[in-house]
Chain A
Amino acid sequence: MPILRKLTWVAIAVVGAATLGYVAVSRGETIGAGWLLTAAVCIYLIAYRFHSRIIAAKIFALDPNRATPAVRLADGRDYVPTNKWIAFGHHFAAIAGPGPLLGPTLAAQFGYLPGFLWIVVGVVLGGAVQDCIILCASIRRDGKSLGQMAKEEIGSVAGYTALVATFGIMIVMISVLALVVVNALKSSPWGTFTLMLTIPIAILMGVYLRWIRPGRVLEATGIGLALLFFSLFAGKWVAQDPALAATFTLTGQQLSVWMMIYGFFASVLPVWFLLAPRDYLSAFVKIGVVAGLGVAVFVLLPSMQMPATTTFFTTGEGPVFAGKVFPFVFITIACGAISGFHSLVCSGTTPKLVEDETDARLIGYGGMLTESLVAVLALIAASVLEPGAYFAINAPAGIIGTTVQSAAEWATNAGFAITPERLNELAARVQESSLLSRTGGAPSLAVGMANILSGVFGKGDATAIWYHFAIMFEALFVLTTLDAGTRVGRFMLQDMGSHVWKPFGRVSWQPAAITASAIVVLLWGYFLYQGVNDPLGGVNTLWPLFGISNQLLAVIALCVGTTVILKMGKARYMAFTVVPLTWLAVVNLTAGFEKIFGAEPRLGFLAHARWFQGFLDSGQVPPGVANAGVAARMIFNDRVDAGVTAFFLCSVLVILAASMKEWYAVLSGAKEPVSTEIPFTPRTALSQSP
């Protein structure tokens, strides 16, 4: 390495270490977001330059002369050799959903520091490694899926566990994301009307693409975007008209029923009609907003109002979700640090696009670092809110009460002073009747984003417009995950069902399609409805379940990765996957155990059921619950949640046991380390004989 380059890297390392050190020890009034951003970016640069290089050059020995599946199996459809920047953009758009925005927002209840450290350390040692290794492994196996690789590398038990776990994760993910949208839209005619209009807009785009100007996707998306802006203002007019506003003021229960109806139809209607156009629109808005937020934060460098750590760090009594910083910060923030779901994308579409093996480093590792930066931006946006307002928005009514007086009193007593007038003023600025207990992270992120964006682009009324823009954008791509997820869930269910009864697997047979869609919708609808009715806020229950399921998938992915590395004869590099795997297994098992057996009713499902049963046994109704019948249903829900958690934990143990057995066989010499990679084919050979 030339001396100048060496010095540059030394300088980046020094700046990174210094800023990180300052962030970690700073306990002054407030620190600027610039410190966090600088530390994060320096760490990403160093990690990309040195850490990812080992994966690319030493573990897989990526070779530009080796023909990738995109080249060997080119069919112009799935397997299409793709320019590395297009593949990077496509991969990033696929992995970055609402997760990296919401998780860090929720985890901000511990202060910004725990979340920040986990995001930057977790991504380097965990998330980026997982994504890059699974991507490389899949490229070397003709683009096989995670489930197929688990089956072939570890064994059929692991394969089936991966399949069932993936289905479970889809259900939990859809329900928690739907809950976030419901909480953002309840009693908000502006938000509700704007989001409703996105459905006819998508249908119009679908019709345009089908009959008016077939295939002109960018034209149709341009029209869709213009209409989307119109719908933002239409929502404002609706909210200002008393009669219309009353029509579109819906309760959480009403909204969740509408969501289920929407999810069902999106799953059974032809995809060109609703799903695909929505998806294009959402991808555009997503990239645009993330870029806009990035520019705004880098330009403004706002100050963090949230303290570095809060008392909930050790008490575990945080109102947003129960539990101490260990293990709960590590499952609350999955996307942005390490998200098992990515391994499905890295073994899905992306490996079939990679033209040159060495691009996998940028796409897999670099893509995940970029998502991590998005998570840091979200954490900053949540932390620039005054802490009192943050807690009033994110804490459930069961804790802070239902009036601005009770909420302000709770926050002030907890050490985050705020006045009722200030809470009213904040709601008025974004033109909502109330911001209290809008749990799930989306509204507080929207308030944070609106503050940041209106600082750069406009003043006064702009805050309200930006707030509703942010809500619309989050809701838009949550709904896109919901409808596409329901459809994928339907196909997975039909596939699994076909093992029991063959005709159920026929995807174009209407009775099977409708039945499978209805089952999937009812499954996630069950969790959604239970979350909407929970006085402690469904997020307290569902987000940890989502985190546990997501990290379970990461455990599966890292087990597959470790096995692949071992069988390549690269046992000396095992630590790359075994270190994050061990950490995640410990985190996941601890969190799952606490969620099932924790003694505190807000933390443990069974303790909550016992607590409620105690009231019923003495003829009373538990606080915050309408009547004894509702309480009995909630006890049932608690047991279901405990069962689902137990299922995820058992899956972790099964996968770990099966993998360790395989590793022991290879390491002890009982089994030859035979790689299942497709043998080397030179790229040049292909070009001579087309």
Chain B
Amino acid sequence: MIQPASGTPHAAPRSLVASAAAFVRRIIGVPDYAIYRSHMESCHPGEPVMTEREFANERLAARYSRPGQRCC
């Protein structure tokens, strides 16, 4: 299998519990700030990065604004 490209960040290494928590969080649809941050740091260095609060707001607004998020 091919390793993920370096331009496609997975978050920095985390402990087992933290990874399990991240797994559950992403299944229920919580946006992952660590992934966003590491993406911005590795692909867009120097560009402004949203704070955790801004990121959460931006993601929530996107999540509930279009169909295709959930089903009947």
Contacts and interface: CB of A to CB of B under 8 A. Distances in A.
Contacts of B63: 271, 276
Is the contact region of chain A dominated by helix, strand, or loop, or is it mixed?
Answer: helix
Contact of A276 (B21, B39, B42, B60): B60
Given A77-B59, A347-B68, A690 B42 contact: yes
A214 interface: yes
Nearest to A138: B68
B13 interface: no
Interface in B13-59: 21, 23-33, 35-40, 42-43, 52-53, 55-59
Contacts of B36: 76-77
Nearest to A266: B64
A341 B72 CA distance: 7
A342 interface: yes
A8 interface: no
Contacts of A687: 3-7
Interface string B58-71: 11111111111111
A77 B71 contact: no
Interface of B: 1-10, 21, 23-33, 35-40, 42-43, 52-53, 55-72
A76 B54 CA distance: 14
28 contacts: A64-B2, A74-B43, A76-B9, A77-B62, A86-B23, A86-B27, A93-B27, A93-B28, A94-B71, A97-B71, A166-B67, A214-B56, A271-B60, A271-B63, A271-B64, A272-B56, A276-B60, A279-B28, A344-B67, A348-B69, A349-B69, A484-B69, A488-B66, A491-B66, A492-B66, A507-B65, A686-B8, A687-B6
B72 A339 contact: yes
A89 B71 contact: no
Nearest to B26: A86
Nearest to B58: A77
A361 interface: no
Contacts of B38: 76
A597 interface: no
A183 interface: no
Contacts of B21: 218
B35 to A, nearest CB: 5
A356 B3 CA distance: 10
B67 A170 contact: yes
A217 B72 CA distance: 24
A215 interface: yes
B62 to A, nearest CB: 7
A146 B63 CA distance: 17
B21 to A, nearest CB: 6
B28 A344 contact: no
Nearest to B37: A76
B67 A99 contact: no
